[in-house]
Amino acid sequence: MTNRLAVPLAEPDTDSCLARLKSLAPHIGLAELRLDLMQTFDLPRLIAESPCPLVITCRPTREGGRFSGPEETRLGILAQALNLGCAYVDVEWDSLDWLGTQPRTKTPVIVSRHWHDQMPEDLWSVYTALRERADVVKLVGTAFRPADMFPVFDLLWRATTPVIGIAMGADGQLTRLLAPCFQNCVLTYASPSVEGATAPGQFTLREMVEVYHLPAVGPHTAIHLHLCADEASAKTIVAQNASAIPGERLYAALIVSALEANSVAHGLQACLPHLTLTAEAALGLALRVPS
């Protein structure tokens, strides 16, 4: 799949969900259906009539979702999705024992774990513990400072099997933007609209498509990241995407303070070896020139 851009949807019912899928399909590679956020749904119809591949999710409250009913009911929904043959079914890490009791189907399984109050320093060890039991490992933490993105980028760079890695929150947005540049990244997420965001820090689909040309971005894309001191400087950098050939180069900006700029620069260069990193003169950095 060349377009790794996915949109999570939380429409109220089947008809509105299918209508939204029809309008989004030309721009995305997949859609994630958040069944826990829907009021009603006809799962067989959703999967049969969707114009694009689907990731089926029914997130429990313990993992940040809204499904609060009996666990056997939730797992029954996921079992139905596995048998219906959607593109992926997302199963929580603590449901792996249940998954082991299910008949094997052709539907790949994403095994996910979320941290809504922190970013674990060592995502790699969590990944290695799960990768033999999952078709895709999805690890999502929360960034409270730019340095919290480093474990996600380290994971995406080192992963040897299909992976999804995200740092939620405003300080983690860069992980959503650059994730498709890694060979084993399966997808990244964009919200269908500002109001339709299902997690903090999501770019809108319009931003991802029209500003960053993300459907064309992949491991072949040259990343040009500029450290900026303010929003005005960041907008100037991002505007360069308008004249770039989609997928050839990706211009991104990260706003940092002068106090954290040095550590952020070195951290990014350590876990993004294919990165061209520049910085605003006001930050006073001496950056290593890429070889």
Confidence (pLDDT) at 2? 81
Confidence (pLDDT) at 194? 86
What is the average pLDDT value for the chain, to the nearest integer? 94
Question: pLDDT tens for residues 139-187?
Answer: 999 999 999 999 999 999 999 999 999 999 999 999 999 999 999 999 9
Question: pLDDT tens for residues 44-69?
Answer: 999 999 999 999 999 999 999 999 99
* Spatial distance between the Cα atoms of 240 and 244, rounded to a whole number of angstroms: 7
Q: How far apart are the first and last CA of the chain?
A: 30
* Spatial distance between the Cα atoms of 233 and 253, rounded to a whole number of angstroms: 8
**Whether residue 200 has pLDDT greater than 90:** no
Question: pLDDT tens for residues 76-108?
Answer: 999 999 999 999 999 999 999 999 999 889 999
Full-model pTM: 0.94
Confidence (pLDDT) at 197? 83
Confidence (pLDDT) at 290? 46
Confidence (pLDDT) at 289? 45
